[in-house]
Amino acid sequence: MKKDMTPEEYLQRIMSNEPSDTCPMRRTLELLSGKWRTHVLYELCKKESCRFGELKKALPRITNTMLTSTLRDLEELGSVHREQFNEISPHVEYSLTDKGKALLPVFCELAKWGENNLD
């Protein structure tokens, strides 16, 4: 997809093509699907790295199991990096990969949309 494509050109393109599993939008929506993935990515955008407990506090309604599962999924998809520190008081920190950090402009556009369209 061309970087300078207008929304109108994009709409024309998607209306004229058959849906496919390689469609960038379909793959992006799959990455962001699920109740908690975007929430976790958004929280990780705010800091260089974050421990599990910090993420849990930032997302109080998520269960430990769901947070673990979501982090594993995002790590497998290449958006989140997990680093284990084997020191006294071992701990794990999560951070965004470059691929995950590339979502920041998307979050910015979503925030703009929200400011303009939500009461």
Helix (H, G, I), strand (E, B) or coil at 35: coil
**pLDDT of the residue at 10:** 74
CB atoms within 10 A of CB 45: 14
Average pLDDT, the chain: 89
pTM (whole model) above 0.85:
no
3, 6, 8, 43, 74 from 12: Cα distances, Å? 15, 10, 6, 34, 31
Cα angle: 119, vertex 114, 79; to 5 degrees: 150
Provide the token pair at 90.
């071992």
Q: List the pLDDT tens digit at each of the 119 positions of the chain.
A: 556 778 787 777 777 776 667 777 788 888 888 899 999 999 999 999 999 999 999 999 999 999 999 999 999 999 999 999 998 888 999 999 999 999 999 889 889 999 999 97
